[in-house]
Homo-oligomer: A and B are copies of this chain.
Amino acid sequence: MGPSAPLSVRQNLAALCGSCAGSFRGLCHGLEEQDQHVLSDASSLIRLPARGAVFREGDRANAVFTLVDGAAKLLRTLPDGRQQIIGFRFPGDLIGYTARDRYPCDAELVCNATVCRIDRGKLEAMSRGCSGISHRLLELCAEDLATAQEQLAAMAQRSSEGRVAAFLLMLRDAARRNGASGTELALPMTRADIGDYLGLTIESVSRVFAGFRRAGLLQEPMRGTVRLLDMPEIESLASGGSAH
């Protein structure tokens, strides 16, 4: 839908090499410099607007993406029309890597964002030649698996407060990975997104946030920003807080 403006390879390379920590880190981590250059040649930067789709469930998986800037959500639309958010992705994360030939879920942006598109064919050809890349892909897949299982444990046995607390900690960890402070966080997703992610209604999410504010655990200085004030308490809610 939105305006997508592939940049030149030259700009692209500059961007990648200049900001590897923030953009390409997910895939490049631990790779030799020359491999990184090879990857750069197979990729292009694309800007997309909020609510834009990086790809849709069922599309041919012709490319993988790394998120350079912004935030994205992965989601599946359930038969009855509701949506289940599988996870959020942040700068440096790899999106759309799959062993199948079609994407298993939608990837949608929650705010204006920049993604780096990497041709899948080229990536796979490369990974045959460079065992570093293929091992890295497997590592990332295992990482995602661990995250999903973590999330599973989180969801199944936690109260609404525990879930929101765990969500905030995930957000903090993502921010830290990208060099942010960890107390002042961007919160670009809506209450509906958070609810669809945690298996709660909009109202419940809103009530938990209100409760946290009243209890002095956090502030929301402006729309789209949270400041975590009482980290120990939030951590305690996230790990101890039982639903039973």
Interface residues of A (CB under 8 A from B): 76, 78-80, 82, 84, 86, 98-100, 104-105, 128, 131, 134-135, 137-139, 141-146, 148-149, 151-153, 155-157, 197-199, 201, 239-240, 242-244
Which residues of B have CB within 8 Å of A153? Answer: 76, 78, 84, 86
Given contact pairs A78-B157, A141-B141, A145-B145, a sample of 18 additional A-B residue pairs in the complex whose CB atoms are under 8 Å apart: A76-B149, A79-B240, A84-B152, A84-B156, A86-B149, A86-B152, A99-B138, A100-B142, A128-B131, A137-B138, A138-B138, A144-B145, A145-B148, A148-B148, A148-B152, A155-B199, A156-B197, A156-B198
Bound complex: CA of A128 vs CA of B131, how far in Å?
Answer: 8
Bound complex: CA of A219 vs CA of B76, how far in Å?
Answer: 33
Give me the 3 closest cross-chain CB pairs, A-B, nearest first: A156-B199, A99-B142, A84-B153
Number of copies: 2
How distant is A8 from chain B, measured CB to nearest CB, in Å?
32
Which residues of B have CB within 8 Å of A244? Answer: 201
